[in-house]
Copies of this chain bind each other. A is one copy, B any other.
């Protein structure tokens, strides 16, 4: 990080996500990495904020309650085409990815996403002393575990239903669950 005037020079970033906890955690992580963060939980709140805050960067979730983040991307891009926008989503699909990029997003990431990865996606390779490591991608095993847990949670711990949703055999799911989560 540069030595002087951090508060004044810090790039402004708008974070839009409807999950309060996720928002708070990510906001803090980004602030710690030198961004000045403003957050909102829906497009209606985000737009006025964007007008006033005039952020150079934005991270927006695809699923914002009932609204879609796609419209917000379009609006942010219309407000200032130079804004670097990353779309972040837990429910990724090719169709929404294509649409997001066409509407002006600079990148499209799936949750879980590491803060460094998000920053990299924003296209800000801050030439300072941070992130000497090339962010290690999670192993497929690790990712799979996270995903299974998430879906299992959505189904209130119902293993059979989860297996169906994941298109895997119940027996296999049981076996995977019996094993330890992989540590990196």
With the chains together, A184 CA to B94 CA distance in Å?
A: 10
- For chain A, residues 126 to 169, give those with C-beta under 8 angstroms from any C-beta of chain B: 126-127, 129, 131-141, 143-144, 146-148, 150-151, 154, 165-168
Taking A97-B94, A103-B127 as contacts, is the C-beta distance between A133 and B167 under 8 angstroms? no
Kindly state whether residue A102 has any CB partner on chain B within 8 Å.
Answer: yes
Range, interface on chain A: 35 or more
Q: Which of A23-31, A40-48, A62-70 contacts B (4 or more CB under 8 A)?
A: A62-70
Taking A110-B146, A167-B141 as contacts, is the C-beta distance between A98 and B96 under 8 angstroms? no
Kindly state whether residue A119 has any CB partner on chain B within 8 Å.
Answer: no
Kindly state whether residue A79 has any CB partner on chain B within 8 Å.
Answer: no
Among B91, B96, B137, the residue within 8 A (CB) of A165 is B137
Give A residues with C-beta under 8 Å from B: 62-63, 68, 70, 74, 89-99, 101-103, 106-108, 110, 125-127, 129, 131-141, 143-144, 146-148, 150-151, 154, 165-168, 182, 184
The 25 listed contacts between A and B (C-beta, < 8 Å) are A63-B134, A70-B131, A70-B133, A74-B127, A89-B134, A91-B135, A92-B94, A93-B135, A94-B108, A96-B131, A97-B98, A98-B101, A98-B107, A99-B131, A101-B101, A102-B106, A102-B125, A136-B165, A137-B166, A139-B167, A140-B148, A140-B166, A140-B168, A143-B143, A144-B144
